[in-house]
Amino acid sequence: MRQIPVRDFFKTPEKSFFKISPDGKYVSYLKPFKDKQNLFIQSLADGKEEMVTSFDDYPVRDYFWTYNNQLVFSQDIIALDQFKLYALDINTHQLHNLITQDKVRVRLLSRSRKQPDIITISLNKRNPANFDVYRLNLKTGEMKLYIANPGNIVDWFSDDDGNIRLAKASDGVDNTILYRTTDDAPFKPIIKTNFKNSVDPIAFTGKGNTFYALSNVNRDKSALVEIDAATGTEKKVIYATDKADVLEVGYSRRNHVLEYVSWEDAKPHKQYLDTSAGKIYADLKRQLQGSVIRFADRDSAGKKFVISTYTDRSPGSNYLYESETGRLTQLSDNNNGINPNELCAMQPVSFKASDGLTINGYLTLPQGGNKTNLPIVVMPHDGPWNRNRWGYSAEVQFLANRGYAVFQVNYRGSTGYGKAFFSAGFKQVGGKIQTDIQDGVKWLINQKIADPKRIAMFGGGFGGFSALYGVSFHPELYNCAIVQYGLINFFTFFKDAPPYAKPFLQMNYEMVGNPETDAIQLRAISPVFHADKIKAPLLIFQGEKDPRANISELNQFVRELRKRNVPVTYILKANERKFFRSEHNRMEMYAQIEKFLDNNLKVKP
């Protein structure tokens, strides 16, 4: 097995984040310029490429097209904790700075075909804890308050004209969907649920005051339903499956048509609800055999589409698809340095936890004849209310290429498997969630897949907590641990939550633990209080500007470990948040991981 260079796995893609202009004349994408992502456009008429931004300090982050062919994009000025929003006129190449605000978050809510110069955004400028709704004029830069948040609204939903008609309120435990008929009418509550249930609006149907939503009320698995906005009554179920939660809905606002639903059990699935969309998908499936196909963007006429693909062994490619002719044109490879034949299959697996609950996950074995007694890297996901999914992971493939089997566990509480499995994880952080992970490792040992003397844990966020918990309370199982932006203290994690996360604290208290009433439990599981239990070598990565990290506490934790002669390699990077966006920093991180695992698991591929 050829050892693929670190750079080939983790380099910044040559082109990424493709979109198409509403008039169908251009594709846009991000491309590195002086090691920073910048915006480029390519004419579909003649193939000519233009660089339309040239930032060399901070990269372009999210961006989108308006209906009158302007590009709106953001920058995160990490050193100043500042957010910038720009508009770029494609015809004149004039750049307008729309917003420069310190310590804010901005989210696009809607664009309007009727008023293409106006976008609707939510912004926590007035109060860091509350997201108000504003109308922003892209030509003049004028920003008008549209709706002031009364203090409990956590999400807003618009109709097809960009008018806010639905809102979701939460006190952290109970959620309320509110509806108003016009801008002048008051919001009235129509649906009330608690945090164990969910109703997530998708779009208005275009027929009366009804809307589509994903709901698990009165059922275990989330389904696509139609709801009467006047009463909150569920009118009918559009699509449901007993295999998994419906996760995504494809909806054409232009035609008011539901196109598809997707869900994921062991692997991703799509069901087409519209005949013409189904024909397009069937044609793409024929041309792109074996790949998972995703619709990334489309023009206003619905005739040109940006398509992305992937498999478990390929980061995939991006294509332009023209539905009238069936023509498929490749725009880029996500990573042309990767040969799928050199990579490894991601196999769905399941096992019984010690209390009998079935736990699912994925096992990626290195290439070669030997499938037993392998060194294992256990990768618990962040969350805990998240999940691992089948598909391409550069981290997983990098580790498998180095000779490690990679084990990913969707422990109880993971999403996508229904309400009962999700709820089974409540108040089980440091309990059955961690037991599920250990049971999975023991299952690998019993299956003779794992070498019990060569097992490592590697995770970010809650996955980092799980790694530290593993080496603290199950030192007999793990040789070492790698931690990225790890959660080390539940008390400070809750106390230091940014203002905009405060509405969700009560829910976290119910699902994880309350620092006042569950203090004994939270102290018993928080790694910061158990440095004396850790003996295994640690490799810790942290971005200094991560808003959820308490850097001084982490520094003290590392000092305490070193005082106890625990071998700790600690890498703190300035001007990085949770994820290392600098390519140089990423390369250094994975080179360190390679060296660390080689030293501690004694494996030579």
pLDDT digits (tens, 9 = 90+) for 341-350: 999 999 999 9
pLDDT tens digit sequence for 529-570: 999 999 999 999 999 999 999 999 999 999 999 999 999 999
Residue 495 backbone phi and psi in degrees, to 5 = -65, -40
Are the CB atoms for 443 and 351 separated by under 8 Å? yes
Buried b (16+ CB within 10 A) or exposed e, 542-578: bbebbeebbeebbeebbeebeeeebebebeebeebbb
pLDDT tens digit sequence for 311-343: 999 999 999 999 999 999 999 999 998 999 999
Of 455, 456, 481, nearest in space to 561 by CA: 481
Of 430, 452, 431, 428, nearest in space to 442 by CA: 452
Of 472, 454, 604, 467, nearest in space to 533 by CA: 472
- In this prediction, residues 358-363 reach a mean pLDDT of 98
Q: If you search the block for the tokens 């391409």, which residue do you land on?
A: 392
pLDDT tens digit sequence for 222-239: 999 999 999 999 999 999
The pLDDT value recorded for residue 560 is: 98
**Secondary structure class of 472 (helix, strand, coil):** helix
**Is pLDDT above 60 for 603?**
no
The pLDDT value recorded for residue 321 is: 98
Give this prediction's pTM. Answer: 0.95
The pLDDT value recorded for residue 377 is: 98
Residue 549 to residue 547: CA distance in whole angstroms: 6
Q: Give the chain's length.
A: 605
Own/partner contacts of 250-256, CB < 8 Å, gap of 24 or more, are 250/277, 250/295, 251/202, 251/203, 251/212, 252/277, 252/302, 253/160, 253/203, 254/300, 254/302, 255/302, 256/160, 256/205, 256/206, 256/207
pLDDT tier at 605, thresholds 50, 70, 90 = very low
Are the CB atoms for 108 and 74 separated by under 8 Å? no
The pLDDT value recorded for residue 254 is: 84
- Cα dihedral sign for 131, 137, 138, 141? negative
According to DSSP, the residues that pair with 408 across neighbouring strands are: 362
- Residue 257 CB partners (closer than 8 Å, separation 6+): 251, 274, 277
**Secondary structure class of 42 (helix, strand, coil):** strand
Task: Tell me which of 91 and 203 has the higher pLDDT.
Answer: 203
Q: Give the DSSP H or E segment for 268.
A: strand 268-272
Residue 221 to residue 205: CA distance in whole angstroms: 22
**Secondary structure class of 68 (helix, strand, coil):** coil
Residue 117 to residue 378: CA distance in whole angstroms: 49
Residue 133 to residue 121: CA distance in whole angstroms: 6
pLDDT tens digit sequence for 105-159: 999 999 988 899 999 999 999 999 999 999 999 999 999 999 999 999 999 999 9
**Is pLDDT above 50 for 305?**
yes
pLDDT tens digit sequence for 457-492: 999 999 999 999 999 999 999 999 999 999 999 999
